[in-house]
């Protein structure tokens, strides 16, 4: 189940904002059992969004999660661009319209053009309720691809994902368990551990072992080894992880280093 | 001057690590005068790296900055993939070899295969010294595109960028000044400000005005307006920014909101 994340927003491209949304979503999707193959940040620009959505579908993504560009301002272009990318009309979605209308009516505010815009979606989309904000999210099934667009405001995005998106995706990826573990190795340079990882990964290719240097390679080496695997059986995944950890411990303890399990 | 950032690393795609490197680089490149058009995160996988580098060159990038995948482990594939993407041989770079050799020799450590790997680069690349780590960075001029690959460890990446990359890029983009400003508007919903932004941006299209909702649209609206522009004259850029700020203040003060300059 291949997934991609597309983050829309100039603020990410001028380095004003760190893309914590993408990391949060990547973690959620990974734990749900998706294989996140790509995160792309594109500007608030129709052509860029359209071409990236098309490219992602072309790469065979089963799921595309987008964030940003759903609000009322001139540069919120995700919805319209999605319609264009999918060859659908961009229309007022009745359900989304009711959601937006209710929010502003309660406050005695009129439905201006900029507010109605938040209810416009590609034809046959389903709106995703936004409990704290005003712009609904967008859910679209397009051929074999599910496309979900959420607001860029982290609190709104997270709440909507957990309340409405996650339960839907859980049904989609049944019985896929992601398990992980961490080892800290002190006193051995990464380049010394590298051949050990080669050997271990060859003996168990289903466990990914990634080394993260946290200290100074030559002066004070500290390596975090992050191990992970996924399986339809949680027990099988955990057992595989345990074996690799054991193997790593044995190999690493041949060197004069410290091996700390976490 | 279009730039793209390509971040390589599975840890970013499983949401283990937040891509602070890309935000830091995006900020640096923007201030240098580049127009960062895309940030892409790809896995530690040769095909993905090769195709993204090719695609970025195809999109007309003048500068591609890559991070990650330069280390000694099996999944560090940036250098080899770059060679493939550019149709160059992947060879031991003599200068890089001397850098790596010196580091390990000082510690009395032999030059193993995994250590020599860090000195292998696409033919005709220039190594970028790595003062604190061991893997040199890579500098390549390829047709009209400059490609720079730096390690994924943030402290190494930042030091190398500031010491060796930034001075080079400064010569490339002369006289381009990026200026910015921030306004906080309290008490007015984003959807009310949206038509004001439309109007202001139409009157001065060279200043980008982006609204960032920080509060609750309907209950307690707080909007950060981020304004920025760039120009070959710093004075012209600042003057443009000042005018737009003044216009925004005038328009917004027609509503019963608070206008706070920052």
pLDDT tens digit sequence for A39-64? 999 999 999 999 999 999 999 999 99
Task: Please report residues of A whose CB lies closer than 8 A to that of B29.
Answer: 15
Whether residue A19 is found in the same domain as residue A126: yes
Give pLDDT, residue B257. Answer: 67
Q: Which pair of structure tokens corresponds to residue B216?
A: 């609750």
Same domain for A150 and A187?
no
Interval A214-242 mean pLDDT: 92
Please indicate if any CB of chain A lies within 8 Å of the CB of B18.
yes
Give the chain A residue whose CA is nearest to the CA of B229. Answer: A14
Q: Which pairs count as long-range contacts for B207-212, CB under 8 Å and 24+ apart, including other chains? A: B207/B240, B207/B241, B207/B244, B208/A10, B209/B244, B209/B248, B210/A10, B210/A11, B210/A44, B210/A73, B210/A75, B211/A71, B211/A73, B212/A11
For residues A41 and A64, give the distance between their C-alpha atoms in angstroms, rounded to a whole number.
13
Structural element, H or E, at residue B50: helix B46-58
- The mean pLDDT value for A6-27 works out to 97
Q: Measured between beta carbons, which residues in chain B are less than 8 angstroms from residue A73? A: 190, 193-194, 197-198, 210-211
Tell whether B185 and B144 lie within a shared domain.
no
**Rounded to an integer, what distance in angstroms lies between the CA atom of residue A195 and that of residue A186?**
17
Task: Give yes or no for residue A219 having a pLDDT over 90.
Answer: no
**Min Cα separation A24/chain B (Å):** 6
> Given this model, what pLDDT does residue A117 score?
97
Question: Does residue B231 share a domain with residue B156?
Answer: no
3-state secondary structure A73-99: CCCCCHHHHHHHHHCCCEEECHHHHHH
In a shared domain, residues B207 and B164: no
Q: What is the pLDDT of residues A142-189, one digit of tens each?
A: 999 999 999 999 999 999 999 999 999 998 888 889 999 999 999 899
**Same domain, residue pair B228 and B243:** yes
CATH number of the domain that A227 lies in? Answer: 3.30.300.330
Residues A55 and A125 in one domain: yes
Is residue A254 predicted with pLDDT exceeding 90? no
Q: Taking residues A236-244, what's their average pLDDT?
A: 96
Q: Which of A16, A72, A193 sits opposite B191 (nearest CB)?
A: A72
CB contact under 8 A, A195 and B113: yes
Indicate the pTM of the whole model: 0.94
Which residue of B lies nearest to A201 if distances are taken between CA atoms? B74
Q: Are residues B117 and B189 in the same domain?
A: no
The minimum CA-CA distance between B106 and chain A, rounded to whole Å, is 9
Q: How far is B39 from chain A (nearest CA, A)?
A: 5
Does B73 contact chain A (CB < 8 Å)? Answer: yes
Task: Please check whether residue A170 is in contact with residue A210, taking contact to mean a CB–CB distance below 8 angstroms.
Answer: no
Q: Do B191 and A23 touch (CB under 8 A)?
A: no
> pLDDT tens for residues B226-254?
999 999 999 999 999 999 999 999 988 88
Q: Which of A172, A194, A222 is the last residue of a domain?
A: A172
Among A15, A42, A190, whose Cβ lies nearest the Cβ of B73?
A190
Q: What is the DSSP letter of B242?
A: H
Question: Is the domain of A210 the same as that of A234?
Answer: yes
Provide the CATH number for the domain around residue A47: 3.40.980.10
Q: Residue B140 has which token pair?
A: 């390549």
A191:B24 CB<8 A: no
Final residue before a domain boundary, out of B138, B156, B172:
B172
Domain housing B37: 2-172
The interface pTM score, or ipTM, of the predicted complex is 0.93
Residues A27 and A117 in one domain: yes
Shared domain check, A184 and A160: no
Q: Which two tokens stand for residue A88?
A: 């659908």
* B23/A25 touch (CB, cutoff 8 Å), yes or no: no
Instruction: Give the pLDDT score at B151.
Output: 98
Instruction: State the pLDDT at residue A182.
Output: 94
Q: What angle do CA B83, B84, B86 make, to 5 degrees?
A: 65
For the cut 70, the answer to whether the pLDDT of residue A3 exceeds it is yes
For B74, other C-beta atoms within 10 Å of its C-beta total: 20
Q: Which residue is it, tokens 């984003």? A: B190
Share of chain A above pLDDT 70, in %: 99
**Cβ–Cβ gap B18/A18 under 8 Å:** yes
Cβ-nearest to B19 among A19, A74, A75? A19
| Chain A residue with Cα closest to B24 | A15
Give A-chain residues touching B197 at CB under 8 angstroms: 73-74
Task: Inform me whether the C-beta atom of residue A71 falls under 8 Å from chain B C-beta atoms.
Answer: yes
CB contact B33 to A (< 8 Å): no
The beta-carbon neighbor of B15 closest among A30, A132, A217 is: A30
At B25, list the tokens: 């680089």
Which of A135, A152, A172 delimits the end of a domain? A172
Query: Does B85 share its domain with B68?
Result: yes
Residue A218 has pLDDT above 90, yes or no: no
Low-confidence ranges of chain B (pLDDT < 70): 256-257, 262
Q: Distance of CA A156 to CAs A24, A160, B241, Å?
A: 13, 6, 31
Instruction: Calculate how close chain B gets to A167, using CA atoms only, in Å.
Output: 19
Q: What is the pLDDT of residue A257?
A: 67
Q: How many domains does chain B have?
A: 2
Chain A contacts in chain B segment 150-209 (CB below 8 A):
153, 189-195, 197-198, 201, 208
The SS3 call for residue B98 is helix
């Amino acid at each position: 189940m291949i997934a991609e994340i597309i983050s829309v927003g100039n603020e990410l491209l001028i380095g004003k904002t760190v893309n914590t949304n993408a990391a949060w979503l990547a973690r959620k999707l990974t734990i749900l059992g998706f294989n996140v193959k790509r995160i792309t940040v594109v500007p608030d620009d129709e052509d860029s969004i359209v071409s990236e959505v098309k490219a992602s579908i072309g790469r065979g993504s089963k799921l595309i999660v987008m964030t940003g560009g759903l609000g009322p301002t001139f540069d919120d272009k995700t919805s319209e661009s999605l319609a264009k990318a999918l060859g659908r009309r961009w229309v007022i979605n009745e359900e989304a319209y009711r959601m937006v209308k209710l929010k502003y009516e309660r406050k005695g505010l009129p439905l201006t053009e900029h507010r109605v815009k938040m209810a416009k979606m590609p034809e046959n989309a389903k709106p995703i309720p936004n409990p704290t904000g005003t712009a609904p999210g967008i859910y679209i099934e397009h051929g074999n691809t599910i496309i979900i667009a959420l607001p860029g405001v982290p609190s709104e995005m997270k709440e909507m994902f957990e309340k409405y998106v996650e339960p839907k995706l859980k049904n989609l990826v049944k019985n896929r368990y992601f398990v992980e573990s961490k080892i800290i190795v002190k006193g051995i340079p990464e380049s010394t551990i590298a051949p050990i990882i080669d050997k271990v990964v060859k003996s168990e290719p289903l466990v990914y072992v990634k080394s993260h240097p946290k200290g100074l390679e030559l002066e004070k080496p500290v390596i975090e080894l992050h191990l992970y695997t996924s399986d339809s059986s949680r027990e099988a995944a955990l057992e595989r992880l345990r074996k690799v950890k054991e193997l790593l411990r044995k190999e690493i303890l041949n060197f004069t280093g410290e091996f700390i399990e976490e």
